[in-house]
Structure formats: C-alpha cells, structure tokens
Amino acid sequence: MVMLNFTYHAPTKVFFGKDSHKQIGEIIKGYGFRKIMMQYGKGSIKQNGLYDDVMASLNEHGIEVVECGGVSPNPNLEFVHEAVAIAKREQVEMILAVGGGSVLDSCKYTAAGAKYDGDVWDFPTRKAVLADALPVGCILTIAAAGSEMSASAVVTNEAECQKRGFGSDLNRCLFAVCNPELTYTVSPYQTGCGIVDSMAHTMERYFIDCEPTPLTDRLAESVLHSLVDAGRVLMEDPRDYEARATAMWGSSLAHNGLTGCGRGDFLAVHQLEHAISGEYPAVAHGAGLAVLFPAWAKFCYHRNVPRFAQFARRVWDITEPDDEKAALCGIEAMADFFKSLGMPSTLREFGIAEEKIPRLCDLCTNNGTRVIPSYIPMDYDAVKQIFESCY
C-alpha cells in the first residue's frame, strides 16, 4: 500500500499584505470586469473604514457595484435566494465578498445560483452537480474558514434546520485579497474560533486513516505549529502583524488542499460540528470544533497511537518517549490550548440541553443510517458516546 493518488488545484491568486485591499479596483479591472455584486455582513465594514476604502478604489477604476449587505454568520439560504435573483436581474459579472467565511460562502452560493435555473440547495443535497458559476473574489476580514482558497461552501437552510456544504473547483475564488491588518479588530473570541477552525481543517486531513505521507505530514505539522504560536501571541497582542499574518495565511493553506495531498480531504469531525451549529446557529463553528476535536481524539486515538504520538511531538513539542503517554499528552495540550484561546470545552456551555443529544446524533448520522469514516467508524452510538463525553 502506498500514499493515495491526488489532484492538487489551488488556482486562487492571493494578494497578501499591508494595504493590499486598496488595490481592489485595479485587480478587478485587470480581469476585465465592469459590473460586480459586492456582499458584506452586518455593516462593521462601514464603521472601520474598509467600506470607504473599497468603494473609493472601485469607483476610481470605474467598476459598477451592486451592493448586497447583511449576510449573517452561518449564512442562510433565504438570503442567498434573494442575492441570486438580484445577480441575475442586474447581470453582474462577478461577486466580490468583503468579509469572512460566511460572506464568502454566501457569495459562492450566489455565484453558483446565478448560472443555474434551479434552487442552489440542489448542490449540497447532491440533486445537481455544479457546472458553471460566476467568478468570486474576496477581501478577507477574518482568518478562519479558509474559504478564500477552498473548494467548499457551506450554507444553512433554516427552514429545514440543516447546515450543508459541497465541494467543487468552481467554488474556488479567482482571487483573494488578504491584509492581516484588517483582522486587528477581530475579537479575542472570534480570533480563537478562527485559529481552531484553521487547525481543524489541517487536523482532519492529518488524521484520515490512510498510508503515511511524510512530506504532507510535515507541511501539516508546520501549519499547525505556526497557528499555535500565532494564537498564543494574539491572545496577548491582537495587533501583532506577524501573528495576524500567520493566522491568515495559515487559514488559507489549511483548507486549499495542500495539507491533504495523498491523504484525501474528508472532514469527519466537521460532520459532527455541522449538526451542532446547524441546529444552534448561535454556536460559532470554531467553538464547536474546539469542544469536539479533543473529545473525538480521546475516543479513537488508541487505534493509531504512533500517529497521535507524532502529532504530540511535532506540533506540541512533547518530549515524552512513550508513544501512548505522548499521544495523550498531545491531546491534552490541544485541549488546554483551545481553552487558552477562550474556547468552551463542553457542549453544555452552549446552552444545549442534554436531552437534545439524540437529536444531534440523528442529524449527524441521518437518523442512524449513516456511518462517518474515521479511525473508529462513527455510527449513531459512537457519535452519542463522543457527544456525551464532552457534554
């Protein structure tokens, strides 16, 4: 057995660094677009000056802008439906996201819907395969979801209480403008959620049950170690440029495919988390992952002790020579680090009632009919055991 064959394709052009967002008009004009839709969130970009900077650059380069503000965290399908209608009516040529993963994912669904006659919910529910989409570009304001380079897009269908995603190369951004300074004002809690989310994207691939991949392993460990270092600095100094830059570039590399080469990109623990933040939209995705990842690791580490020992030594600098002990120390170090980022460590802290656990298990496993691949395949009972262990 050898490492898996893979296809690697991360075509997004990244403009990274100080003041990079001020080039946005020039960048878009360079691609030849004249009329765009611009989506953003609840308006913080109007308070911090970003909106003005962006509009000034777009106006300077004669780009016509159809605005579509008000994207919510965990973007919802209803908003996307409205945006698709506007994009079609206005015949915009591309969609610009100014925001974080939620705004980006809303834009990706809008871009898909603008070139599709049916309901975009058909894509995550596998009723249709995405065949065409408008180009999407972004100005990133939160380092977390990795959506700026990833092939995935997640949306919440509030009517059905379901959060679902799908992957397609057409979901990859044409370009991403990443200025770490734009994240200086992200709250410590959201910064922590972002670090956890980026780490989870890397760890999910790192812990896929497959043959060893020495180079991919080391790259993943590099991303993780750097994110840990950056997270520690940012809890002390939210305006440390290098740490913000590491968190931002790390979020992109964690989810653009690089850390999964030869391993695959199935995100098992995300399946558990989507049930939680789908059912409880107030739960931040990263916070959900911070609770679930250590619980998942304790549940199944014993099926691959050398792997968890390597993780402990290379990411957490654990020097314990015994593999079993090292593996457990690594999981503890991860849990402690997440706590140091201000993350919760139990589902209870989200205000979820214990009797709701069966409902969450049903959501993860499609009423017990689906088994999620992992070191220990996760059926209804396994998921229940994990949820109870971190309640």
Which chain residues interact with its own copies by CB under 8 A? Answer: 2-11, 13-20, 212, 214-215, 218-219, 221-223, 225-226, 229-230, 241-242, 245-246, 249-250, 253, 258, 261-262
Q: Please, are residues 201 and 147 in contact by the beta-carbon 8 Å criterion?
A: no
CA–CA dist 197, 204 (Å, integer): 10
CA–CA dist 71, 25 (Å, integer): 22
Q: Please, are residues 128 and 117 in contact by the beta-carbon 8 Å criterion?
A: no
CA–CA dist 90, 84 (Å, integer): 10
- Closer to its own copies by CB, 240 or 279: give it: 240
Q: Please, are residues 49 and 211 in contact by the beta-carbon 8 Å criterion?
A: no
Shortest Cβ 15–its own copies spacing (Å): 6
Helix (H, G, I), strand (E, B) or coil at 164: strand
Shortest Cβ 60–its own copies spacing (Å): 20
- Closer to its own copies by CB, 20 or 141: give it: 20
- Closer to its own copies by CB, 6 or 266: give it: 6
- Closer to its own copies by CB, 213 or 374: give it: 213
- Closer to its own copies by CB, 246 or 374: give it: 246
Helix (H, G, I), strand (E, B) or coil at 50: helix
- Closer to its own copies by CB, 181 or 323: give it: 181
Q: Please, are residues 141 and 97 in contact by the beta-carbon 8 Å criterion?
A: no
Shortest Cβ 218–its own copies spacing (Å): 4
- Closer to its own copies by CB, 256 or 277: give it: 256
Shortest Cβ 211–its own copies spacing (Å): 8
First-to-final CA distance of the chain? 39
Shortest Cβ 223–its own copies spacing (Å): 7
Contacts 24+ apart (CB under 8 A), 312-318: 314/218, 314/221, 314/225, 315/221, 315/224, 315/225, 315/228, 316/228
Shortest Cβ 381–its own copies spacing (Å): 36
How would you class 309 by CB atoms within 10 Å of its CB: exposed for 0-12, middle for 13-18, buried for 19 or more? Answer: buried
Cα–Cα separations (whole angstroms), residue 142 to 37, 114, 274, 315, 333: 20, 26, 20, 24, 25
Shortest Cβ 69–its own copies spacing (Å): 28
Alpha helices in 280-379 (DSSP H): 285-300, 305-316, 323-340, 357-365
Shortest Cβ 374–its own copies spacing (Å): 24
- Closer to its own copies by CB, 105 or 221: give it: 221
